[in-house]
Structure 1
Amino acid sequence: MHMHYRTGTETIEIAARRHFFAAAPDGFGCTIIDLPGTSATLLSVLAMPSPTMNRVAGLPGGQPLADETLAQIRQFFRQRGIPRFWLHAWNTPDSAVLHDSLLAHGCTRRGAWGQFELVLAGLLPPAAASSLNIRLATAEEYGLAGQILSDSFGMPLLTPWMAGLAGRPAWQVFFACDENGTPVATGTLLIDGVQAWLGMGGTLTAARGRGAQQALLAARLAAAKSAGCVMASVEAEAAEPGESSTSLNNILRAGFRQVGTRQNYLCDS
């Protein structure tokens, strides 16, 4: 995996988080900090204290994590009352020294996330057949998209957060609707210049297995290409060895190429 891809997809991801954090309700305590002296970015959501929402991405792989940098990170989360957080490290040979230093600091491995890209210059794969109808959500429906995500993942704060995307033109929210026109799945697209990021995909339990996310991926990619984007990026939880992941399969069928995997390290503050 080339450095270009590692920085490219991660840069899009961080840009998407900046946009998303800007839309959060004031009381959520969303913070993004570029750590001084490093290439890393710290992300934190006080209202959602899980490591998924409190983490550090972009640590340079070719060097150990400095004691003073880790102390700074730990102090930040500790002062916010966040007990544990993630540090990300790319699973590449040139990042071995970073992995070793994180283990030496007492951090533990906790799964991994794959990052994927799709160059939009060529023909996009045809959308898979689905009985669901795909449409854009209106701004007034963004809270409904958040409710679908909340029901899908057990994260109720996503309902007001998604509602906050209304009036922000960089965002597009899509629905997959059943035969009655009722939204049963959602997916979000961020257009940031010529880069696109796909995220916030969720499907209600009763509608799973009907190709909703595959259809939503195709619709968002078509919208990104129409908007002049040249590359799209998405991330998803990596499957454990010997296991299969519906999300990963959907992403690959949509035409994405995996460009790397980031290991999550769980650290105490």
Structure 2
Amino acid sequence: MEGTTDDTGPGRSSGASPGALAALGLDLTAAVALAETAEAEFMLALHDGAPTEARRALGMHSERVAGGVAVVMAADPTGGYWNKALGFGLAAPVTEDLVAHLVDLYATAGAPAMTLQVAPSLLPEDWDELCAPHGIVGGSVWAKLLRHADVPVSPSVTELRIGRIGRDDTDAYARVFATGFGMPPEPHLLSMFAAAGAGGRGFTAYGAWDGDRLVAAANLHVAGPAAAFCGAATLPEARGRGAQSAFMRVRVEAARAAGCGWMSTETWQESEGAHNPSLQNMLRSGFVEVYDRRNWVWRP
């Protein structure tokens, strides 16, 4: 969940790291399938698990197509973040017809943007030619990371109380998530977060409390062989107190208990002058960068 959809830039993101794949004992095809499927399934579950009123008010719907998923939020209060099409190229090739269908889907819905996320190894040779007629441009780059369940859990130290989110905590959880990610506290968007925080559709949510106040939140989604570490946020005034390291530890343990052999996550890739603490925390927690994936952005 970490990153933006409007950081435009030229070029195509890099492919997988041979050293990383060797360290994990995976080939490129297997790594991409684990990472892309885990993210696509949690995004679909998050959208489809939103309350009916929120789905109606925000113009939300989803579609499985060509082996991937498209999640639409026409009245996206963030300006486009929650409109994503991903998981493509695994079950069927990425084609001109698919790109045209997706653009039509989001345009017809009146969405403010679409972010098309395809692993670089699955992009066709004529990708630039497919994008040009639709005005699709290269945006920000995300790092995709995997972790084997057998890797030892990194120790973590925090004075914050770490635990599962309960039914009475979901509203606070939603507000911490929105604030931590810099998103507006729009009521229907908050209700989508709260539904996931309540443990819907494969989610298990965690919180960090300073006394009685929730100051950080995280979520885990399980829907296949790779558990998705699908977002963790801390209020600005509580950062640097160990919440994120503790969330990594408890989610690794929970994913193992759920029988997952792999764990997947993603965050925005660092660039010159832009340090991403989340990425460094992931690496310290046993995750390995396997490839970078550029966001491809369409706007009406």
TM-score (norm 2): 0.79
Cα offset, 1:247, TM superposition: 0.9
Task: Give aligned pairs, total.
Answer: 263
- Relative to 1, partners in 2 of residues 1:242 and 1:204: Cα closer, same or farther, differing over 3 Å? closer
Is 2:44–2:69's contact at 8 Å kept on the other side of the alignment?
A: no
- Relative to 1, partners in 2 of residues 1:266 and 1:255: Cα closer, same or farther, differing over 3 Å? same
- Name the residue aligned to 1:111: 140
Amino acid at match of 1:30: M
| Alignment partners' CA distance in 2, 1:254 and 1:95 | 30
Structure 2 residue runs of 5 or longer lacking an equivalent are: 1-15, 17-27
Matches within 5 A, 1:196-211: 196-211=227-242
Identical amino acids, percent of aligned pairs: 24
| Alignment partners' CA distance in 2, 1:241 and 1:169 | 38
Is 1:198–1:233's contact at 8 Å kept on the other side of the alignment?
A: yes
Structure 1 residue runs of 5 or longer lacking an equivalent are: none
Does residue 20 (structure 1) correspond to residue 49 (structure 2)? The answer is: no
- Name the residue aligned to 2:179: 151
Q: CA RMSD in A?
A: 2.4
- Relative to 1, partners in 2 of residues 1:226 and 1:98: Cα closer, same or farther, differing over 3 Å? farther
| Alignment partners' CA distance in 1, 2:151 and 2:118 | 33
Is 1:89–1:99's contact at 8 Å kept on the other side of the alignment?
A: no
Matches within 5 A, 1:15-94: 15-26=41-52, 27-28=54-55, 29-35=59-65, 38-48=66-76, 50-60=79-89, 65-66=95-96, 68-92=97-121
Determine helix, strand or coil for the equivalent of 2:175: helix
| Alignment partners' CA distance in 2, 1:233 and 1:190 | 10
Deviations 1:232-252 (A, max 9, x none): 111111222453210100111
Is 1:102–1:265's contact at 8 Å kept on the other side of the alignment?
A: no
- Name the residue aligned to 1:11: 37
- Name the residue aligned to 2:158: 130
Does residue 176 (structure 1) correspond to residue 242 (structure 2)? The answer is: no
TM-score (norm 1): 0.87
- Relative to 1, partners in 2 of residues 1:262 and 1:193: Cα closer, same or farther, differing over 3 Å? closer
Amino acid at match of 1:162: F
Cα offset, 1:163, TM superposition: 2.3
Deviations 1:66-110 (A, max 9, x none): 1x3333222211221113211223234x63625423553332111
Is 1:196–1:232's contact at 8 Å kept on the other side of the alignment?
A: yes
Candidates 259, 263, 266, aligned match of 2:294: 263
Structure 1 ranges of 4+ moved more than 4 A: 61-64
- Name the residue aligned to 2:21: none
Matches within 5 A, 1:219-234: 219-234=250-265
Q: Which deviates the most, 168-177 or 54-63? A: 54-63
Is 1:117–1:231's contact at 8 Å kept on the other side of the alignment?
A: yes
Cα offset, 1:220, TM superposition: 1.0
| Alignment partners' CA distance in 1, 2:254 and 2:93 | 40
| Alignment partners' CA distance in 1, 2:98 and 2:151 | 44
| Alignment partners' CA distance in 2, 1:196 and 1:60 | 20
